């Protein structure tokens, strides 16, 4: 997992062509008028989701992971807390769904970090993450999640 400010994006270009493309896309795109949904960049190799939701209590959030895609999560508007843990032998609450590329897990031991406006987090397949956690009160957020196919 990587957590940083979007202004430091270029130092992550050596991580791969997909990561570089994702950052260039994030910096060149105005997300103001885009509504929630899935949008193509390079077919199924690289696409993004506009997520708009209200943050919630940690008890109402779910730990997840992906196998086919790296998640580059960019906080466009608002802020949330995200639970994080390395994938070990956690108990599934939903086995891996290959069509939608996710598995859900029972939250066990995990750390929590803040994702503020103009910050991003990169999650690899061994990074369990639990987004959507509120700070003090629930608040609306708009987050862009770029999905980068692992070659």
Query: Tokens at residue 88, please?
Result: 């070990």
pLDDT at residue 108 above 90? Answer: no
Q: Report the domain count for the chain.
A: 1
Q: What is the pLDDT of residue 126?
A: 96
Model pTM score: 0.96
Q: What is the pLDDT of residue 117?
A: 97
Share of the chain above pLDDT 90, in %: 98
The sign of the torsion formed by the CA atoms of 35, 37, 42, 43 equals negative
Q: Distance between CA 21 and CA 18 in Å, rounded?
A: 5
Q: Distance between CA 55 and CA 113 in Å, rounded?
A: 14
- Write out the residue range of the structural domain in which residue 39 sits: 2-149
Query: Residue 102's domain is classified under what CATH number?
Result: 2.60.120.370
Q: What is the pLDDT of residue 107?
A: 87
- As a whole number, mean pLDDT of residues 45-68 equals 97
């Amino acid at each position: 997992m990587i957590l940083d400010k979007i202004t430091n994006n270029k130092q992550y270009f050596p991580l791969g062509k997909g990561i570089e493309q994702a950052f260039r896309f994030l910096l060149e795109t105005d997300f103001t008028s885009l509504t929630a949904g899935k949008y193509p960049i390079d077919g199924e190799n690289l696409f993004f989701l506009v997520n708009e939701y209200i943050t919630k209590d940690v008890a109402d959030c779910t730990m997840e992971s992906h196998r086919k895609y790296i998640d580059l999560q960019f906080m466009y508007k608002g802020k949330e807390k995200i639970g994080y843990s390395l994938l070990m032998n956690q108990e599934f609450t939903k086995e891996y769904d290959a069509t939608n590329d996710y598995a859900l897990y029972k939250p066990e031991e995990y750390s929590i970090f803040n994702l503020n406006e103009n910050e991003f987090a990169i999650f690899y397949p061994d990074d369990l993450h639990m987004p959507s956690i509120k700070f003090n009160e629930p608040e609306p957020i708009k987050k862009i999640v770029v999905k980068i196919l692992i070659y």
